[in-house]
Chains A and B, each alone.
Chain A
Amino acid sequence: MSIAMPVPNAETLAKRERIARALRAIVPGEGVIDAPEALRPWESDGLTAYRQPPLLVVLPETTAQVSAVLKWCHAEGVKVVPRGAGTSLSGGALPLADAVLLGLGKFKRVLDVDYEDRVAVVQPGVTNLAITQAVEGRGFYYAPDPSSQIACTIGGNVAENSGGVHCLKYGLTTNNVLGAEVVLMDGEIVRLGGRHLDSGGLDLLGVVVGSEGLLGVVTEVTVRILPRPETARAVLVGFPDAEQAGACVAQVIAEGIIPAGMEMMDRPAIHAAEAFVNVGYPLDVGALLIVEVDGPAAECDFLIGEIARIGNANGAVTSRVSDGEAERMAFWAGRKAAFPAVGRISPDYLCMDGTIPRRRLPDVLRRMEELSEEYGLRVANVFHAGDGNLHPLILYDANVPGELDKAEAFGADILRLCVSVGGVLTGEHGVGIEKRDLMPEMFSDADLKQQQRVKCAFDPELLLNPGKVFPVLHRCAELGQMHVHHGALPHPELPRF
């Protein structure tokens, strides 16, 4: 593994038992996990290549408990890593040896649903899909739909600003969150935003969404729910190669069509997904485009036709429109399970998440193929075609020495490629630790320092989820905003990763 995590604080490590005792006083019962064997399952998130059992796991059930835990940890200088369902693909929820892992898994309630004002108030541990399940009975749904929606939590979605198939039309998490209750590292509970739109003052909610667990712990979320469209239709369009598929995507957008979802899979991804769902994907195409349109039936009919026309105009070899809701769901099931489904064809995978200008897709795909040959590692591609968000899945075997390093280097090259064509390191999975050291590829020192100053405003002692997102952990004092507590600088010299 080439990514270095912060050197554990020996004093924190040494007082582990005391920390456990103190936390148990706050969260009784089985809410504190300290047995080494029981810490193992917490040692990684969706980025399984990186593992680190946490110092302890604490599973609070109330905001007050979260506040008390953070307050105590803050006073003692103990780091905290928040965790939802541990599905982050960028290591955002990777524990630290000297950090308390704060699991929000017990915050599972949907607190309130206001269908008239179209909002739902949920606890952070409620899964993405569970929000929709809670409101679908009245004809509503929650739009952002990461492929991990069955398991990932709204808290994690907020932290990662997660996207999904529908974010092209309905936006990322940040566009669908109205408010949040956030507990800061010092235990202070703040409410950002609310049931109303656009609070005054600085958009702190906006910066908390996507902060990857570094600014505060989200303990309640107010989301916007949407009326379910009258109709949703999906069409599978197969192309000989990805370049033609990419061109089709560009033309669809250029003609003013913003589909509800537009996804692309390459041959390996198609095969893996078909093996899991058995829905009848065309297996003899080079790229498969899944386009979903929703809305009134008339609109869907019209758009389906347009898309078919555009597809043919770009060399589509197969085209299939969903015949009913079940088939549409099945079309998507394979896509949503594409990531884990490659588990069938490869023991391990690294999922990249760059966004590129769609017009550069052919170049990027070509270069990725070259890199694949250079590195000797297969790659299966799944894209959010509509917004240029690539998910190359680098297939490797963790049990083969050196393959992880190769996969990481390959992934880093892919992301550098994305940046070089005018894109970004991550479109929806976050920076985490996975892309941390590549941040200077996209931002200058001044840019990064400015970002870190925001961190310092929320967490001056840098205790909340440290070691993520930013390649160099500066002391807040070095960033020109020093907070001296108890006559001492709070943080010893931080290592350069």
Chain B
Amino acid sequence: MQTRFPPEALADPAMATSEGVIRKCVHCGFCTATCPTYVLLGDENDSPRGRIYLIKDMLENGRKPGPETVKHVDRCLSCLACMTTCPSGVNYMHLVDHARAYIHENYQRPWHERATRRLLAWVLPYPGRMRLALELAPLGRPLVPLMKRIKALRPLAAMVELAPAKVPAPAPMEPVRVPGAKARVALLQGCAEPVLSPEVRAATLRLLERAGCEVVFAQDEGCCGALVHHMGREGDALAAARRNVDAWMAEIEGDGLDAVIVTTSGCGTTIKDYVHMLRADPAYAEKAAQVSALAMDVSEFLAKHGLPAATPRGLTVAYHPPCSLQHGQKVTEAPKRLLAEAGYTVRLPAEAHLCCGSAGTYNILQSELAGQLGARKAERLSALEADVIATGNIGCAVQIARHSGLPVVHTIELLDWATGGPRPQALKHLPQE
């Protein structure tokens, strides 16, 4: 696609990258078929191709973002299905990330949007604040109906609704020491997952130990920065990235790491992108590249290093591939293969490529569209007549659980169970085989 970026604008690496992405698009429209928002709305502006145009127009003219552009970019789930679909190699992720940052810098949102986003950026990346917010959520539940009536307060309502009825106990954070370990890995501590679903970390630790891995938690590691990154808060995201790069570099330069294992695929996508995010930072570019190269989804790691012996549990699993895993990290076969290896009957839903609507803060900031996507996804999963729904991302799990009657677990929980771990909490109700 033709571009007309002024030369001085291209001096900015982000602009130059975006221009390159845009130039790659030949406007073929393939991406529209797999974009959740286009599938729902049928409006070109709500498609990757449309957003590419909106972003191009905004960046090319050095324009203050217009409300329409912001609206449609906000609606993007960053599910990256478009990247999987695009035959021309358009790196939509880097383009939309830049656009979000540009919007954050140049667009004056309504105060309530700003307030909501500020609150999200303040709470979500920090497990402590997250836990506190979840504990306070029940207090706000009665206000949800009222809040839903006030547009400015809908994100708050969505937040309250997303909170679990009961906040689970904190996840363990004991390093795993294995004599003669086959590998030494760092496990991402994360932000939302350990608060919402501590069992995932527990299962992961058990499985990795069983797989012969030494697992460490890096000092000073924090939120991967994905959430703030997707809100356009570039500065915050880069700060988070630098902090994590430093944390993991300490381990790398210390006893060395074979991988940085991630159990939340959204975070994994971001960590693998540290190399691009920090490319213009001379102090971090090289280190980020190392870190990104080491980052792996837990399923990737297990598929590569082998799964311990498994005992079939006789369940049919409806597998929901998280967008950040299938599109963002291009990890598609590993989870399914691992589950099958572990003895489960794995079924993939129709429209497996479509996002469930979780997408980070999407189900808070775009609660209506998220609801539609969630319901649609749940329906597709129900059609599989499975015993349990498995996925590799906590956000997806929470989202799907809201719309489905089936138990939802992390893939790793099933693998842990099959290879000797305890029955997942969500499956307690199932009859013992």
Contacts and interface: CB of A to CB of B under 8 A. Distances in A.
B68 A59 contact: no
Contacts, number: 135
Nearest to A404: B2
B25 interface: yes
Interface residues of A, number: 47
Contact of A129 (B33, B41, B67, B69): B33
Given A30-B43, A276-B89, A348 B2 contact: yes
A47 to B, nearest CB: 8
Interface stretch (B48-56, B317-325, B393-401): B48-56
Contacts of A133: 350
B128 interface: no
A160 B300 CA distance: 45
A164 B350 CA distance: 25
B82 to A, nearest CB: 11
Contacts of A33: 43, 45, 68
Contacts of B27: 44-46, 48, 86
Contact of A48 (B2, B54, B58, B89): B2
Which residue of B32, B43, B44, B67 has the most chain A CB atoms within 10 A of its CB atom?
B44
A35 B25 CA distance: 24
A108 B42 contact: yes
Nearest to B72: A38
Contacts of B26: 48, 339-340, 342-343, 348-349
A38 B66 CA distance: 9
Interface string B1-15: 111100000000000
Contact of A106 (B42, B47, B86): B42
Contact of B29 (A125, A148, A276): A148
Contacts of A105: 38, 41-44
Contacts of B45: 33, 38, 41-42
B32 A85 contact: yes
A347 interface: yes
Given A30-B43, A37-B66, A343-B89, A152 B29 contact: yes
Contacts of B51: 41
A337 interface: yes
A226 interface: no
Interface string A314-356: 0000000000000000000000010111111001110000000
A48 B30 contact: no
Contacts of B57: 37, 40
Contact of A398 (B2, B34, B54): B2
A310 interface: no
A61 to B, nearest CB: 8
A444 interface: no
Contacts of A125: 42
Contacts of A344: 24, 88-89
A87 interface: yes
Interface in A23-79: 30, 33, 35, 37-38, 40-46, 48-49, 57, 59
Interface string B235-263: 00000000000000000000000000000
Interface string A339-381: 1111110011100000000000000000000000000000000
A468 to B, nearest CB: 18
Contacts of B150: none
A59 B43 contact: yes
A303 to B, nearest CB: 29
A216 interface: no
A222 interface: no
B87 interface: yes
A253 interface: no
Contacts of A30: 41, 43
B23 interface: yes
Interface in B293-313: none
A392 interface: no
A337 B87 contact: yes
Contacts of A59: 42-43
Contact of A103 (B4, B29, B43, B88): B43
Nearest to B50: A41
A150 interface: yes
A48 B1 contact: yes
B29 A341 contact: no
A341 B88 contact: yes
B263 to A, nearest CB: 29
A167 B27 CA distance: 24
A48 B45 CA distance: 16
Contacts of B39: 108
Contacts of B4: 399
Which residue of A43, A125, A150 has the most chain B CB atoms within 10 A of its CB atom?
A150
A337 B26 CA distance: 11
Which residue of A30, A35, A151 has the most chain B CB atoms within 10 A of its CB atom?
A151
B4 to A, nearest CB: 8
A80 to B, nearest CB: 16
B30 A150 contact: yes
Interface in A103-159: 103-108, 125, 127, 129, 133, 148, 150-152
B2 A43 contact: no
Contact of B25 (A103, A342, A343, A404): A343
Contact of A87 (B3, B29, B41, B43): B29
B28 interface: yes
A46 B54 contact: no
A447 B149 CA distance: 62
A340 B2 contact: no
A129 B28 CA distance: 15
B24 A343 contact: yes
B107 to A, nearest CB: 12
Given A46-B27, A105-B42, A348-B1, A151 B53 contact: no
A41 B49 contact: yes
A341 B26 CA distance: 9
Interface in B65-87: 66-69, 72, 85-87
Interface in A260-285: 276
Contacts of A41: 44-45, 47, 49-54
A87 B87 CA distance: 14
A340 B44 contact: no
A152 B42 CA distance: 12
A37 B2 contact: no
A347 B374 CA distance: 37
A42 B68 contact: no
19 contacts: A35-B67, A40-B53, A40-B56, A41-B47, A42-B45, A46-B27, A46-B29, A59-B42, A105-B38, A107-B42, A127-B33, A151-B29, A152-B29, A339-B26, A339-B28, A342-B26, A347-B23, A349-B26, A399-B2
Given A41-B47, A86-B29, A103-B44, 12 more contacts: A37-B68, A59-B42, A86-B27, A105-B41, A151-B30, A339-B28, A340-B26, A341-B87, A342-B26, A343-B28, A344-B89, A404-B2
State the 10 A-B residue pairs at the shortest beta-carbon distance, nearest first. Answer: A343-B88, A105-B42, A398-B2, A41-B50, A337-B87, A41-B53, A38-B68, A340-B28, A106-B42, A340-B87
